[in-house]
């Protein structure tokens, strides 16, 4: 059986100069010296920070439309898709007879892994990942963000579809308008 490959040899014995270690020391000091005149790489964090790219995935938040309505219709899709099960929703009637809304919407930010599945799955474009990444907490309770706080973080996103206008306006020939009375069995 033949040996495959060629073993590496040890280096030849070094000369007197190399044995004093002075060339290596000087070489190291030269590298250090060179770095002193290079561009400074440190980002002075609390004073300056990154300009985050569009679509950065930070903490999730709920948004309202331009008519100050909570966009979320409590369909539970985000709760269903959330890998760490960080979202907890409880639905309620909001009295329009058309949609429901969230009574409770909690996101446990310590569970959240900012994957963006909730934003991706949301049929109403009601939940978005904000560029916020600096939040720290002192206990677990304060890191469960409730509906009010999430809405405050999310702010307003204009509604390009104008679903509510279509739902409440009289139909122009197509489907008849749905009854607006709450509690109608459908």
- The rounded distance, in Å, linking the Cα atoms of 27 and 37 is 16
Three-class SS of residue 166? helix
Are the CB atoms for 156 and 168 separated by under 8 Å? no
CA distances from 171 to 47, 95, 100 (A): 56, 20, 21
* Interface region with another protein, contact rule CB under 8 A, candidates 66-74, 110-118, 151-159, 166-174: 110-118
Residue 150 contacts another protein per CB under 8 A: no
Q: Which of 4, 41, 172, 185 binds another protein (CB under 8 A)?
A: 41
Other CB atoms closer than 10 Å to residue 166's CB: what's the count? 13
Residue 85 has which token pair?
């099960």
Q: CA torsion angle for 60, 62, 65, 67 (degrees, to 10)?
A: -150
Q: Tell me the window of 2-10, 104-112, 123-131, 146-154 that interacts with another protein (CB under 8 A).
A: 104-112
129 binds another protein (CB under 8 A): no
Shortest distance in whole angstroms from residue 33 CB to another protein: 17
Q: Is residue 85 involved in binding another protein (CB under 8 A)? A: yes
Q: Using the rule CB under 8 A, is 88 a contact of another protein? A: no
Q: From the list 96, 108, 125, 130, which residue makes contact with another protein (rule: CB under 8 A)? A: 108
The C-alpha R_g of the chain, in whole angstroms, comes to 30
Question: Closer to another protein at the Cβ: 134 or 162?
Answer: 134
The site for another protein (CB under 8 A) is made up of 41-46, 49-50, 59, 83-85, 108-115, 133-140, 143
């Amino acid at each position: 059986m033949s040996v495959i490959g060629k073993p590496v040899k040890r280096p030849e014995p070094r000369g007197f100069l190399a044995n004093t270690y002075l060339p290596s020391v000087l070489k190291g000091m030269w590298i250090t010296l060179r770095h002193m005149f290079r561009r400074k790489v440190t980002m002075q964090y609390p004073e300056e920070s990154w300009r985050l790219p569009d679509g950065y995935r930070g903490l999730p938040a709920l948004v309202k439309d331009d008519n100050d309505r909570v966009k979320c219709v409590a369909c539970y899709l985000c709760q269903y898709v959330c890998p760490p099960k960080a979202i907890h929703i409880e639905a309620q009637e909001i009295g329009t007879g058309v949609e429901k809304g969230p009574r409770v919407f909690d996101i446990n930010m310590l569970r959240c892994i900012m994957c963006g599945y909730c934003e991706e799955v949301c049929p109403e474009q009601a939940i978005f990942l904000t560029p916020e990444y600096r939040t720290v907490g002192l206990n677990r309770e304060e890191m469960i963000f409730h509906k009010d706080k999430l809405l405050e973080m999310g702010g307003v996103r204009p509604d390009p579809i104008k679903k509510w206008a279509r739902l409440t306006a009289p139909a122009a020939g197509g489907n008849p308008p749905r009854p607006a009375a709450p509690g109608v069995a459908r």
